[in-house]
Amino acid sequence: MTIQVPYRSIPEMFLHRVAATPDKRAFGSPGPDGQQRWRTWSEVGEEAKRLAAGLTTLGVGHEDRVAILASTRVEWIIADLAIMCAGGATTTVYPTTEPEDACYIVADSGSKVVIAENQIQAAKLTATPLPDVTHVVLIDGDADPSAAIPQVSLAQLAQAGSAALAENPSLIEDRVAAIEPDHLATLIYTSGTTGRPKGVELLHRGWAWEGVVQGEVGVLLPEDLQFLWLPLSHSFGKTLICGILHVGVETYVDGRVDKIAENLGIIRPTLMAAAPRIFEKVYNRVVSGVQEEGGAKAKIFAWAVKAGKEKVALEQAGKPVPGGLAFKHRIADKLVFSKIRARLGGRIRYLVSGSAPLSVPISEFFAAAGLPIHEGYGLTESSAGNTVNRPDALRIGTVGPALGDLEIKIDTDGEVLLRGTPIMRGYHNLAEETAAAFTEDGYFRTGDIGELDEKGHLKITDRKKDLVKTSGGKYIAPSHIEGLFKALCPLVSQVLVVGQARNYCTMLVTLDPDSVKAFAHGGPLEGKSYAEIAASEQAREEVGRAVKELNEKLNRWETIKKFAILPRDLTIEDGEITPSLKLKRRVIEANFKDEIEKMYQGTLAEV
């Protein structure tokens, strides 16, 4: 089937939404007093138009790039809409990006204006010369008249826009009317798990398609209340914005990761998308808390999870649930699962996981609790939303069927190939890399290994470049093993399987800071530092127990012979994980090469 997209561009979709539901709540955000502040679509439309007109006074025109260097907040969304309404294209820069890399992205993209969150972010732009940048716009704080690059505040930009609109009331509508589907909308730089980031050119037609297909499959419903905390510099967040515009979903925006748990209880959303790490942390807290309490509560919890997973297994197999099991599950729900749902606000209709693989056992746990996580799949180069498990049609272990009319096929070596509207135009200023990314018949090479089942559901095995080949010639998929282990050991934060060209597999492990506190509570480790607990015999025994259980589920050549618990967790700042929470395997292996070598020199005891 061919998807009919009634919009030529994102701004056209946006203006249509404003006209259709001007008085409906659009975006909420935390106010200065900590209370929720909501903007209607009419208010968002007026703000975006003023800023768009202001950008035209700074010389922003057709496909000119404007970079946003800020955290997830409602002003990010409004600025993005304003850039496109002015006819420009948004370059996204993560707020955690180091100054040198931020300058590289701004320079490579050819951005003329940078919208920075505050002076701290603006200061990054002084790391290297940026001759193309004419102005920096500050979201928070006052402009610095002595800044090397001229600055204006967001308020000043809006004032200039108001004056421009008074002179030419149809300025923005005229700009929007001139935007074609094949014009550049966004430049998103790949987070670069290896090498320097590449600018991915994404067009209006692809993003408009993303908005429409999300509505068609019921991922977003007009009556939903969404909680959006994802990095908006990432394509996952951007594709959700497009769905919000098309469907008209009320969305509360707050990018503070440390406030997610608190916000869930306050906002009580029906919809949330997240990276697997967020669901893993919820799982860890629940399981660690029960283990700490022990006794009857731990036994009831284990009984409830067993009953829940039995029910899920039958449902996944398409078999009826016997009356006795259904009764047990109702009791389990009342005693255990309802309390887990309450932690997420008690109203969740649809959870989406993307950007990295989700552990199957953890997915089964959430499904048992009445919180099925619908895993999806996509890449920056394909506008993020390519496949997803549909509401009421979850197939655990897969990332669902294709969205819309996107074409998927599996190459002879198992690589997943994609063709369709949301695929990028190419890599910015990189013709050779662009050509290499496509097959002769126009399919994009994803770099992921996968398979399609009889119902068209896609299952991703691993990244093609991440597959480990042992010295014995056996191929191993690290992410599969890592996902299994996370479900077995709630004490763990991150896991990295090592084994390339080695004669056996080993594993680097970090501990979850929250779970560590619960683990140490009431015992000899209470009050100890993270590093002290990580080095303790108690932690080693706990992780070792889970590794032995893991090995029982693996082929002989996949089993983990040794492991090392690292003295700290992996961080974005150290370059070990991307802002979208993917592991940077080569960086981690380089940073902890000594720990790895010890595992292959016989200085650490075997499991």
Tens digits of residue pLDDT in 63-91: 999 999 999 999 999 999 999 999 999 99
Q: Phi/psi of residue 125, each to 5°? A: -80, 0
Tens digits of residue pLDDT in 549-587: 999 999 999 999 999 999 999 998 888 988 877 888 989
State the pLDDT at residue 537: 95
- CA angle, 275 as apex, 270 and 278 as ends, to 5°? 75
- Architecture of domain 274-346+348-464 in this structure: 3-Layer(aba) Sandwich (3.40)
DSSP category for residue 4: -
13 CB burial (10 A radius; 0-12, 13-18, 19+): buried
Asked whether the predicted pLDDT for residue 136 surpasses 80, the reply is: yes
For residues 386 and 501, what is the distance between their CA atoms, to the nearest angstrom? 34
Asked whether the predicted pLDDT for residue 294 surpasses 90, the reply is: no
Instruction: Report yes or no: 269 and 223 within 8 Å, Cβ to Cβ.
Output: no
For residues 118 and 230, what is the distance between their CA atoms, to the nearest angstrom? 20
Asked, colleague to colleague, whether 10-270 and 467-599 share their fold, the answer is no
- Structure tokens of 244? 């919000």
22 CB burial (10 A radius; 0-12, 13-18, 19+): middle
Tens digits of residue pLDDT in 226-249: 999 999 999 999 999 999 999 999
- Structure tokens of 393? 């049609």
Asked whether the predicted pLDDT for residue 605 surpasses 70, the reply is: no
Instruction: Report yes or no: 389 and 374 within 8 Å, Cβ to Cβ.
Output: yes
Could you give the percent of the chain with pLDDT greater than 90?
84
Asked whether the predicted pLDDT for residue 192 surpasses 60, the reply is: no
Confidence of residue 606 (pLDDT cuts 50, 70, 90): low
For residues 276 and 354, what is the distance between their CA atoms, to the nearest angstrom? 7
Tens digits of residue pLDDT in 501-555: 889 999 999 999 888 888 888 889 999 999 999 999 999 999 999 999 999 999 9
State the pLDDT at residue 114: 98
Asked whether the predicted pLDDT for residue 193 surpasses 60, the reply is: no
State the pLDDT at residue 191: 66
Confidence of residue 292 (pLDDT cuts 50, 70, 90): confident
- Structure tokens of 65? 């790039």
97-111, 289-303, 410-424: least confident range = 289-303
* Domain ranges within the chain, ordered by starting residue: 10-270, 274-346+348-464, 467-599
Instruction: Report yes or no: 403 and 386 within 8 Å, Cβ to Cβ.
Output: yes
Q: Which string of DSSP letters, residue by residue, matches 308-331? A: HHHHHHHHHTT-PPPHHHHHHHHH
Looking at 3.40.50.800, 3.40.50.300, 3.30.300.30, 3.30.300.170, the CATH number of the domain 467-599 comes to: 3.30.300.30
- CA angle, 568 as apex, 565 and 570 as ends, to 5°? 100
Instruction: Report yes or no: 384 and 306 within 8 Å, Cβ to Cβ.
Output: no
Instruction: Report yes or no: 354 and 365 within 8 Å, Cβ to Cβ.
Output: no
236-250, 289-303, 314-328, 434-448: least confident range = 289-303
Instruction: Give the predicted TM-score (pTM) of the model.
Output: 0.89
- Structure tokens of 38? 């909501």
Asked whether the predicted pLDDT for residue 458 surpasses 80, the reply is: yes
What is the average pLDDT across 189-196?
67
Tens digits of residue pLDDT in 318-363: 999 999 999 999 999 999 999 999 999 999 999 999 988 899 999 9
Average pLDDT value for the chain = 94
For residues 52 and 157, what is the distance between their CA atoms, to the nearest angstrom? 9
- Architecture of domain 10-270 in this structure: 3-Layer(aba) Sandwich (3.40)
For residues 447 and 436, what is the distance between their CA atoms, to the nearest angstrom? 12
- Structure tokens of 582? 């993917």
Beta bridge partners of 476: 468
State the pLDDT at residue 607: 58
Tens digits of residue pLDDT in 11-64: 999 999 999 999 999 999 998 887 899 999 999 999 999 999 999 999 999 999
- Structure tokens of 152? 């204006």
Look at the alpha carbons of 140, 144, 147, 150 in this order and tell me if their dihedral is positive or negative: positive
State the pLDDT at residue 195: 63
For residues 271 and 224, what is the distance between their CA atoms, to the nearest angstrom? 7
